[in-house]
Amino acid sequence: MDLGAISSNIGEIKRQVGESQVMAVVKANAYGHGMAQVSRAAIASGATWLGVATPSELIELRSSGITDPCLVLIEPGVRQGGGVMTDTPTITGSEIDR
């Protein structure tokens, strides 16, 4: 894994989107590259949000000392094990019950 390439890519994205916020999606252990290391590199390079798939991945990030804003991409209500949620994550939804 080349953290310099990740930093360079985030920097280029930031340059292209101007004042917009950038999210680095680090689900699935940053696609096998190491969630904590990639998250730190992305945030240091200008990403303002992190994206994970599950609450357990958020818990893993928090256990690594990463406190930056994070979006949990899994649908609300899907049961995930792996620890105790100690913060209130931002979550996504795919359906509205009427």
Give the domain ranges of the chain: 3-91
Can you give the pLDDT at residue 94?
Answer: 59
pLDDT at 4 (0 to 100): 93
The CATH label, of 3.40.50.300, 3.50.50.60, 3.40.50.720, 3.20.20.10, for the domain at 3-91 is: 3.20.20.10
- Position 27: which residue type? K
Q: Which amino acid is at 63?
A: S
The whole-angstrom separation of Cα 81 and Cα 98 is 29
Predicted pLDDT at 73: 87
User: Is residue 39 packed enough to be buried (19+ CB in 10 Å), middle (13-18) or exposed (0-12)?
Assistant: buried
Predicted pLDDT at 97: 61
| Average pLDDT score over the chain | 84
Number of helices followed by number of strands (H, E) in the chain: 4, 4
